[in-house]
Chains A and B, each alone.
Chain A
Amino acid sequence: MRRKLDLPYVEDDLLAIEPGDEVILSGTLYVGRDQVHKRLFDAINEGRPLPFDFQGNAIYYMGPSPAPDGFVLGAAGPTTSMRMDPFTPLLADHGLKVIVGKGPRTKPVVEAIARTGGLYLQAYGGCGALYSSRILQAETVAYPELGPEALLRLTIHDFPVFCLIDSRGQEYIR
């Protein structure tokens, strides 16, 4: 089924979405991948402040190619989620529980999404030009020294993804 989800989300909006749903995202989406996850994980463990509010916000595993003149970003498709798995449960338990990535997750992540009532959404792999065309704004929030891996805040419109794990921890079966 095709559903819309506005970001930041309200909890009730997450409950309607089920595995196998096509979900069309609009609103604010944060971006972070490997090194950002390591830093957020370390910040929580060391009791340091986080660079953005996890509550109500979603994160997208992505590292864009450079923006040519006249573009907000270059290509901006998802990267493989499983590399973030060691960090995801702790981040989800602190509120970062709605995730956009690509590919399968390990059991602790499925359990964390069920425990926190989050969502795991898959963006279509390799579709960097398509996703770039749905991004209206992009700004760097933290860690600019990471280059293409910096923590970004995007404004997106009609951003198509696919639900793989719902808020009850039910998984998509192909």
Chain B
Amino acid sequence: MDAELRIRDALIAAIRKLPDKAERLIHKAAAEETHPSGQLVLNAIEENIRVSAETGLPLCQDTGMFWCLASIGRDSGVSMAKVEDVVIHGAGMAAVEGFYRKSVVCDPVYSRVNTGTNLPPVIVFENIDGSDVVLHFLLKGFGSENCSGVRMLNPTAGEDGVVAAVADIIRIAGGKPCPPVFIGVGIGGTMDRAAVLSKKAFFSSSDDPLAMKILSAVNELGIGPGGLGGRFSALSVSVIEEPTHIAGLPVAVTVNCWADRMAELVFRKGEL
């Protein structure tokens, strides 16, 4: 199938159906939450998932800003320009045919006129080994994105400093980002690189010891589903680390709401 159409179809589906892992974690939390108010919220979330599946309506009206990590195989022979073109066209078709809310404005400070297309997407490019081109999309709602942030820690802050910094960002977020949240953590690089890693982290595994420590610390905050209290403030934490400067320890956090919407597409050599 044409690359643009594959992207369109994946993005139309992504705002209606959560990744299996996210859905499993929500149902597990609903079964295990003991706080009565937190339980009410998780019941509503489960009903929402059911209604969305039955009606085809998006899970949430904030269908998000398109964020795309484009990983281009060094042996793929595919240019950045080609990838940019298919991403923009595929996303643009999805916004129209998938009934996305038009949530993007062109001039952030002054006129704030809506672009009317949900475009442009944010695209981050990287090279990878091999001949595949891999596209990872986040549908970034801004109730949660407004709670994301970066902290530039001292180089000696260590594990405790990192855990405390992430927990503090989530504490300040409280009920605003539609908890229980999914958390991406990017550590190292420069300020901006850590921020990119914090989004890339959503596509990596979430079972390393640091991620588990952060998850425990966040869930001890007691924010709970909807911010109404309970055991489940976050459902998952993923961490990516990269080299950084001797004088610093950048820590970036991207917060995703419980509606952890994303898409992944792999194009083999010659398909794009």
**Chain A residues close to B by CB (< 8 Å):** 20, 22, 62-68, 71, 74-77, 79-80, 82, 102-104, 122, 124-130, 132-133, 147-148, 160, 162, 172, 174
Contacts and interface: CB of A to CB of B under 8 A. Distances in A.
Nearest to A134: B51
Interface in B30-46: 35, 37, 40-41, 44-45
Given A124-B45, A133-B55, A174-B224, A65 B176 contact: no
Interface string B220-243: 001110111110000000000000
12 contacts: A65-B61, A66-B100, A74-B58, A74-B61, A75-B60, A75-B61, A79-B62, A103-B227, A126-B48, A126-B257, A128-B59, A129-B55
Interface in B203-255: 222-224, 226-230
Contact of B228 (A68, A71, A133, A172): A172
A63 B103 CA distance: 10
Contacts of A20: 37
B114 to A, nearest CB: 6
Interface string B56-81: 11111111000000000000000000
A124 B47 CA distance: 11
B58 A129 contact: yes
Contacts of A102: 143, 175-176, 178, 226
B101 A66 contact: yes
Contact of B178 (A64, A125, A132, A174): A125
A76 B226 CA distance: 16
B226 A129 contact: no
Nearest to B57: A129
B55 A162 contact: no
A124 B52 CA distance: 15
Given A65-B63, A148-B102, A127 B45 contact: yes
B99 A127 contact: no
Given A74-B99, A129-B58, 10 more contacts: A65-B61, A65-B62, A66-B99, A66-B101, A68-B99, A77-B48, A124-B40, A124-B44, A125-B175, A125-B257
B101 A74 contact: yes
Contacts of B51: 129-130, 132-133
A1 to B, nearest CB: 11
Most buried by A among B44, B63, B223, B257: B44
Contacts of B99: 65-68, 74
A21 to B, nearest CB: 10
A130 B48 contact: yes
B174 interface: yes
A63 B61 CA distance: 7
A165 B230 CA distance: 19
A104 B44 contact: no
Most buried by A among B37, B56, B178: B178
Given A104-B176, A124-B44, A127-B44, A162 B226 contact: yes
Contacts of B45: 124, 126-127
A65 B222 contact: no
B175 A104 contact: yes
Contacts of B176: 80, 82, 102-104
Nearest to A124: B44
Contact of B52 (A62, A129, A148, A162): A129
Most buried by B among A64, A65, A76, A147: A65
B44 to A, nearest CB: 4
Contacts of A62: 61
Contact of A127 (B37, B48, B101, B222): B48
Most buried by B among A20, A75, A77, A133: A75
Contacts of A63: 61-62, 101
B146 interface: yes
B57 A75 contact: yes
